[in-house]
Chains A and B, each alone.
Chain A
Amino acid sequence: MKPDEPTNVNESTEANTLSRADFLVTAGKSALLIGIGAAGAASWNSLTSRLAQRKLTPLQEYPSKTWYSMSIDIAACIGCGKCVEACCAENDVPPEFFRTWIERYRVKTNGDVLIDSPNGGKDGPGEDDVPDDQILKSFFVPKLCNQCDDSPCTRACPVGATFLTPEGAVIVDYDYCIGCGYCIQACPYGSRFFNPKKNTADKCTLCYHRITKGKLPACVEVCPVKARIFGNLADPNSEISKFNRDNAVMALKPHLKTGAKVVYKGVTKEVV
């Protein structure tokens, strides 16, 4: 059996050699593929990183280069009411009226929905009058004028005293408003009110006097938890554009086709 052994060895060597050749070919092919892959991946990476660095151009046409709006992160809001307080102080809002307010939603385990907004949420959340074990979930929804692009209120105004500014904010000309209240009736969100001091309609202006000077709206500035994101929708790199892009956001009462710019992240069926 001994003389045969080398043969066997040879045979096995030959088999090994063959497999090595095969291996080399395979390895070569693999290396080539990996190389191409790596090169591709590298170029893809560089492409995507370059894309990431490149300034995005807006997909949507906006009427002007500054098209301001606000987005609301419902999950972030803690209902502290600082925004309401700041708004009232900044804009000289008459007592018991609100340009912005916070609604508290409490969904009970039996399905009931409790909604309240004591003093517009200015003094923080209302009384904790439901036992914890009966509450399934609760959250706060800050509300303000939704700054509609095709707003029912501007359409309704008989003298054009309320209008959409080139910055995207809907504001009221208090020196021109006749105080008929038609815009208040037309607003489906309850955002407008009749100002008893001015005898005109009044509403959130997105702090027009501040944003046109490059400042933030008062409510945004004081929010401790970044529940309100303000910015320029026409700039795809702005914080608000990124927020609206990256999150599932929705306008309120979308079926009314008001073109509301203010959108909400985390809005549920309970929200009115």
Chain B
Amino acid sequence: MYSLLFNPVSLFAQSTSFVFPNERHGLTWGILIVLYPYITGLVAGAFILASLVRVFNTEAVRPVYRLALLTALAFLVCATMPLLGHLGHPERALEIMMTPHVTSAMAIFGFVYAWYLMAVLLLEVYFDYRWDMVLASQRSKPFMKFVYTIFTLGVKDISPKALAFDDRAERFLSVIGIPSAVLLHGYVGFIFGSLAGNPWWSSVLMPVIFLCSAIVSGIAMVFIVYMVTTWFRRQRIDMMCANAIGRILMFALIFDLTLETLDVVHRMYEAGEWVDILRLLSSGYLYYTIFLVQFFLGGIVPLITLALMQAVKMTDAVKMRYYFLMAVLVEVGVFAMRWNVVIGGQLSSKSFKGLTTFRLEMIGKESLMTFLIILTLPFVILFFLTKLLPPWGGHSDESSDLPSGSTPVVGVPVA
């Protein structure tokens, strides 16, 4: 470990580097494939945060329940875009679902995605918002009336019995949703972890690490969205809720950081045939993105800060600034983790004798531009979703005496 951390000496001192001729053209998977696990991770994490309210009755985070659901939905809608943008023949993409190859880890993606979108997330949003949508369809102007009527799927019964059914259905979906979210993202880790030919990826820990970092990133993203939207709406942040999310984020970080550390230590201690190239990789190319960004800035700093915030007294305003900064750092750290897995895993030649090079194009099919567009899109979608299905107020309203879970009295646009 010492030589790994403090001695980024080139392996080339002992032998020349050699990459296979077909590896000289850059990496097969670029920045869009970094974005793909990042986005699905946000979906899974945001959903798991929402499930805390429904399944584990963590009342403190109820104010972000709907926001978490909408965040998950907005990102899930965009989850396939990086993949489509990357495919050589995007027009054949549906073949994955039409003629899936049963032995392929990747073939299952379409089904996992469809299940999660159709059977879990959309249904949960539907049941949660049905009452609001029925009301909105009655109050809105003709065009929006039509839109909301479509959203209700024609079910306009808002009797207590119907609402109680909505609530039960939603709870049931949340219970199904947790394993589904775990499946969605654990599976992404499996795509990488199951490739025996690539030692940087090939690890049974991979799905678990992906999942833990997903939970961390999802919670942090909902936290950021909550803070930003509240500031923009000039509302007060519910400090009970913020502190609760801060604590949950801290515990999730402990798990995540422990597993990621275990992974690195295990690889270095095991020291298989690839150890030289891994040492070179993590000491040279990936030194900053792994140890500085992923572990230090994205893991250790937020963890210590969040832990200290539990003990040190400070005003709410200062607290929020710290929370915001830590949530952003966590996002950066998790993105760095995806980068280190996807790009890092391809930087080593399969000859284990040299390093390949990563080139980032500014404009083009798989470029920085596409990356930024796809990364921005979920936020745009989320903006419109919050206009259509406002997630504010609702559940935190103490005046509510309607069945729990579906009670926003204010907030539905009556325009």
The docked-state distance in angstroms from the alpha carbon of A157 to that of B104 is 6
Stretch at the interface among A53-61, A185-193, A220-228, A229-237: A185-193
CB contact under 8 A between A178 and B92, given known A98-B22, A120-B21, A160-B101: yes
The reply to whether the CB of B126 lies closer than 8 angstroms to some CB of chain A is no
Q: Which residues of A contact B196 (CB under 8 A)?
A: 152, 188, 256
Bound complex: CA A263 to CA B402 (Å): 73
* A152-B195 Cα distance, complex, nearest whole Å: 8
If A155-B103, A180-B87, A194-B28 touch, whether A116 touches B16 (CB-CB below 8 Å) is yes
Q: In the complex the two chains form, what is the Cα distance from A176 to B24 in whole Å?
A: 26
Chain B residues within 8 Å of A114, by CB = 15-16
Q: How far is the CA of A103 from the CA of B350 in the complex (A)?
A: 14
Given contacts A176-B95, A178-B92, A180-B86, contact A158 B351 (CB under 8 A): no
- Tell me the nearest residue of chain B to A156, going by C-beta: B104
Which residue from chain A places its CB closest to the CB of B106 in the assembled complex?
Answer: A158
Instruction: Tell me whether B16 and A189 are in contact (CB under 8 A).
Output: no
Taking CB atoms, residues of chain A closer than 8 Å to B352 are 272
Given A117-B21, A156-B105, A199-B88, CB of A256 within 8 Å of CB of B197: yes
B322 an interface residue at 8 Å Cβ cutoff?
A: no
Is the Cβ of B105 less than 8 Å from the Cβ of A191?
no
For A117, the chain B residues whose CB sits under 8 A away are 18, 20-21
Q: How far is the CA of A116 from the CA of B15 in the complex (A)?
A: 11
Contact with B along A108-132 (1 / 0, CB 8 A): 0000111111011000000000000
Q: Does A184 touch B at the CB level, under 8 Å?
A: yes
Q: Let me know if B233 is at the binding interface, CB within 8 A.
A: no
A186 engages B195 (CB within 8 Å):
yes
Residue B266 at the A interface, CB < 8 A?
no
Which of B21, B96, B103, B197 sits near A178, CB closer than 8 Å?
B96
On whether the beta carbons of A182 and B104 are closer than 8 Å, the reply is yes
Q: How many residues of B contact A (CB 8 A)?
A: 43
Provide the residues of chain A in CB contact with B191, threshold 8 Å: 182
Report yes or no: B96 in contact with A116, Cβ–Cβ below 8 A: no
Residue of B with least CB distance to A272: B351
Contact A190 B349 (CB under 8 A): yes
Chain B min CB distance to A120 (Å)? 4
Q: B197 near A113 (CB under 8 angstroms)?
A: no
**What 0/1 pattern do residues 376 to 409 of B give for CB contact below 8 A with A?**
0000000000000000000000000000000000
List which B185-210 residues lie within 8 A (CB) of chain A: 191, 195-198
Are B16 and A158 in contact, CB atoms less than 8 angstroms apart?
A: no
Instruction: Please tell me if A177 contacts chain B, counting CB pairs below 8 Å.
Output: yes
**Contact: B24 with A190, CB < 8 Å?**
no
Q: Which residues of A contact B29 (CB under 8 A)?
A: 181, 185
User: Do B100 and A181 touch (CB < 8 A)?
Assistant: no
With contacts A97-B22, A185-B195 known, is A177 near B89, CB below 8 A?
yes
Q: Is A52 an interface position by the 8 A CB rule?
A: no
The reply on B315 being an interface residue by CB < 8 A is: no
A259 close to B (CB within 8 Å): no
Q: Are A112 and B28 in contact (CB under 8 A)?
A: no
**Contact assessment for A186 and B96 in the assembled complex, using a CB-CB cutoff below 8 Å:** no
Q: How far is the CA of A158 from the CA of B195 in the complex (A)?
A: 14
| Consensus secondary structure, chain B interface | loop
Q: Any chain A CB within 8 A of the CB of B109?
A: yes
Instruction: Tell me the bound Cα distance from A256 to B195 in angstroms.
Output: 10
B23 within 8 A of A: yes
Chain B residues with Cβ below 8 Å from A185 are 28-29, 195, 197-198, 346
Tell me the bound Cα distance from A272 to B352 in angstroms.
8
Is the CB–CB distance between B104 and A158 below 8 Å? yes
A-B contact count (CB 8 A): 135
Chain A residues closer than 8 Å to B319, beta-carbon distance: none
B 63-101 binary contact with A (CB < 8 Å = 1; else 0): 000000000000000000001001111101101100111
Counting contact residues on chain A (CB < 8 A from B), the size range is 35 or more
Return B323 CB to nearest CB of chain A, in Å: 38
Nearest-neighbour CB distance to chain B for A180, whole angstroms, equals 6
**Cross-chain contact of B87 among A157, A178, A189, A192 (Cβ < 8 A):** A178
Is B107 an interface residue, CB under 8 A from the partner?
A: yes
Q: Is the CB of A156 within 8 A of B22?
A: no
CB-CB nearest in chain B for A119: B21
A96: chain B residues within 8 A (beta carbon):
21, 24-25
Interface flag for A51 (CB, 8 Å): no
Interface centre among A103, A185, A188 (most CB of B within 10 A): A185
Contacts of A181 in B (CB 8 A): 28-29, 86, 88
Report the Cα distance A1→B23, complex, angstroms. Answer: 107
Determine if A200 is an interface residue (Cβ-Cβ < 8 Å). yes
Within 8 A of A (CB), among B5-49: 14-16, 18-25, 28-29
The CA of A191 and the CA of B99, in the complex, are separated in Å by 26
Residue in B16, B86, B89, B103 with the greatest tally of chain A CB atoms within 10 Å: B89
How many Å from the CB of A48 to the closest CB on chain B? Answer: 44
Q: Does A264 contact B (CB under 8 A)?
A: no
Contact with A along B342-367 (1 / 0, CB 8 A): 00001001111100000000000000
Do A188 and B350 touch (CB < 8 A)? yes
Binary CB contact string for chain B from 158 to 183 against chain A (1 if under 8 A, 0 otherwise):
00000000000000000000000000
B28 touches A156 (CB 8 A): no
The residue on A at minimum CB distance from B101 is A160
A199 to B28, CA, bound (A): 12
Residue of B nearest to A193 (CB): B22
> Taking CB as reference atom, which chain B residue is nearest A99?
B22
- Interchain residue pairs with CB less than 8 A apart (13): A96-B21, A97-B22, A115-B351, A117-B20, A158-B101, A160-B99, A178-B96, A181-B86, A188-B350, A189-B350, A190-B21, A193-B25, A272-B353
The 3 A-B pairs with the shortest beta carbon distances in the complex, nearest first, are A179-B88, A188-B197, A190-B20
B residues with a Cβ closer than 8 A to A are 14-16, 18-25, 28-29, 83, 86-90, 92-93, 95-96, 99-101, 103-107, 109, 191, 195-198, 346, 349-353
Residue numbers of A with Cβ under 8 A of B are 96-98, 101, 103, 112-117, 119-120, 143, 152, 154-160, 176-182, 184-194, 198-201, 256, 272
11 extra A-B contacts, CB within 8 A, seeds A96-B25, A194-B88, A256-B197 = A98-B21, A117-B18, A117-B20, A117-B21, A143-B20, A179-B89, A181-B88, A188-B196, A194-B25, A272-B351, A272-B352
